């Protein structure tokens, strides 16, 4: 493939925005995904796998009625119309893994990368120019899509080299949610009572591990799950002091159960890792006054959270699930290096 190189690319990628003009690639409706052209501060990636954000894949799967051919059609439709994998319903994307194919001259000597290196992008697909030639496989159980395609990483885009001690699908699965355990490690304090919604899922398990480690023997970790499979996963790991079956969309049931377990004290910190909407009020009611809620879920509505807390008179600090925090990739991967049980479970699911 012959690549045409262009000078003076914007470090944030605004030169790729088609519409509306004046915005950055993430909120843009459409970006330029022409991979025959590369700006001097871009990296071209030969893509192997996409890890679709859980909330996004769940929505797509429901829209397709579980039909794999329709899932492919929807994904291709989004990418062809927007130039990126930016779900118009959930607003979220995911991450990718692939090999470096080319680099613009401005950044060739500023990165610890060479042609052929395999990397996982640590920025959302919702802002990443992407061209899909063919979808060659779908794994609905783990939200991963194998493709033939190309993607562009901007100058300010972050990434991680594929670690030697993990398979590509496993590394992609863990790094897709690496912000969650890293933020948990920062937020949990000794003696805290921590409630994790979606504790049996990928991000929930990683958060439970960090929460247990940081809260200590005087703290308490309560795992909330709905499906039997997820309940079985989190119970098998022994990370939670209590594992309870609750529908996170049933705010009153959540409040009553957590109030019962904590003798009315409620949680110091609630971590929301679910992939369905309408769990904001459940999270709020489980949290004590002046406590904190970390909404990692991409299904979260800021409006419902803000107005819901106001409506029930809760003075709580609510944190948006920033997918980036310093050293988040290493923190997440080290969970699997430290916990043989989690590594074995994830290995069985994602390899």
pLDDT in tens, 140-186: 989 999 999 999 999 999 999 989 999 988 998 899 899 999 999 99
The CB density around residue 227, as the number of other CB atoms within 10 Å, is: 12
Q: How far apart are CA 205 and CA 210, in angstroms?
A: 9
Q: What was the pLDDT predicted at 297?
A: 87
As a whole number, mean pLDDT of residues 87-95 equals: 94
Range of weakest confidence among 108-117, 193-202, 242-251: 108-117
Tell me which DSSP letter residue 267 carries.
E
As a whole number, mean pLDDT of residues 292-312 equals: 94
**Integer angstrom CA distances of residue 322 from 183, 239, 262, 284:** 8, 24, 29, 19
Q: What was the pLDDT predicted at 112?
A: 86
Q: Which domains does the chain possess?
A: 4-175 (no CATH), 179-350 (3.40.50.720)
Banded model confidence at residue 325, pLDDT cuts 50, 70, 90: confident
- The answer on pLDDT for 1 being more than 80 is no
Report the predicted TM-score, pTM, of the whole model to 2 decimal places: 0.86
- From 31, 141, 145, select the one nearest 96 (Cα to Cα): 145
Cis peptide before 272 (omega within 30 of 0): no
Q: 170 — phi, psi (to 5°)?
A: -70, -45
Beta sheet of 159-161, edge-to-edge order? 130-139, 144-153, 43-52, 94-103, 118-121, 159-161
- Per the rule left: phi > 0, alpha: psi between -120 and 50, beta: everything else, 17 is beta
- From 323, 273, 316, select the one nearest 292 (Cα to Cα): 316
189, 347 contact by CB (below 8 A): no
The CB density around residue 112, as the number of other CB atoms within 10 Å, is: 6
pLDDT-above-90 percentage for the chain? 90
Q: pLDDT: is 326 or 323 the higher one? A: 326
Q: How far apart are CA 26 and CA 258, in angstroms?
A: 37
Task: Return the sign of the alpha-carbon dihedral for residues 189, 239, 332, 201.
Answer: negative
Which H/E stretch holds residue 39?
strand 37-39
Note the Cα 222 to chain centre separation in Å: 21
Q: What was the pLDDT predicted at 20?
A: 96
- In total, the chain counts a number of residues equal to 351
Tell me what the pLDDT averaged over the chain comes to. 95
Q: How far apart are CA 59 and CA 88, in angstroms?
A: 10
Return the axis-axis angle of helices 179-187 and 328-338, rounded to nearest 10°: 90
Hey, is 253 helix, strand or coil?
A: helix
Task: Return the sign of the alpha-carbon dihedral for residues 336, 269, 93, 9.
Answer: negative
Please, what is the end-to-end C-alpha distance for the chain in angstroms? 32
Note the Cα 217 to chain centre separation in Å: 29
pLDDT tens per residue across span 215-270: 999 999 999 999 999 999 999 999 999 999 999 999 999 999 999 999 999 999 99
Q: How far apart are CA 3 and CA 100, in angstroms?
A: 14
């Amino acid at each position: 493939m012959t690549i045409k190189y262009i000078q003076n690319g914007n470090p944030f990628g605004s030169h790729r925005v088609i519409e509306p003009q004046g915005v950055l690639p993430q909120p843009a409706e459409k970006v330029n995904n022409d991979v025959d052209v590369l700006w001097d501060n871009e990296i071209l990636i030969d893509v192997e796998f996409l890890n679709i954000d859980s909330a996004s894949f769940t929505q797509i799967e429901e829209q397709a009625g579980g039909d794999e051919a329709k899932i492919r059609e929807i994904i291709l439709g989004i990418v062809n119309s927007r130039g990126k994998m930016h779900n118009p319903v959930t607003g979220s994307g995911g991450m990718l893994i692939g090999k470096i194919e080319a680099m613009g001259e401005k950044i060739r000597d500023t990165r610890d990368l060479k042609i052929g290196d395999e990397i996982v992008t640590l920025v959302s697909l919702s802002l990443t120019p992407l061209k899909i030639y063919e979808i060659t496989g779908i794994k609905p159980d783990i939200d991963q899509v194998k493709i033939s395609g190309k993607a562009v990483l901007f100058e300010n885009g972050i990434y991680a080299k594929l670690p030697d001690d993990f398979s590509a699908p496993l590394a992609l699965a863990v790094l897709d949610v690496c912000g969650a355990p890293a933020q948990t490690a920062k937020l949990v304090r000794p003696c805290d009572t921590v409630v994790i919604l979606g504790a049996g899922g990928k991000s929930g398990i990683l958060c439970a591990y960090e929460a247990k480690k940081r809260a200590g023997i005087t703290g308490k970790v309560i795992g909330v799950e709905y499906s039997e499979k997820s309940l079985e996963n989190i119970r098998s790991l022994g990370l939670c002091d209590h594992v309870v079956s609750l529908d996170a969309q049933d705010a009153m049931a959540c409040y009553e159960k957590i109030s019962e377990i904590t003798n009315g004290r409620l949680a110091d910190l609630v971590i929301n890792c679910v992939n369905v909407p309408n769990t904001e009020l459940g999270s709020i009611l489980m949290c004590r006054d002046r406590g904190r809620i970390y909404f990692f879920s991409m299904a979260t509505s800021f409006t419902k959270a803000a107005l819901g807390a106001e409506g029930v008179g809760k003075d709580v600090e609510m944190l948006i699930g920033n997918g980036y925090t310093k050293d988040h990739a290493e923190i997440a991967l080290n969970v699997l290096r430290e916990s043989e049980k989690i590594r074995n479970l994830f290995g069985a699911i994602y390899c």
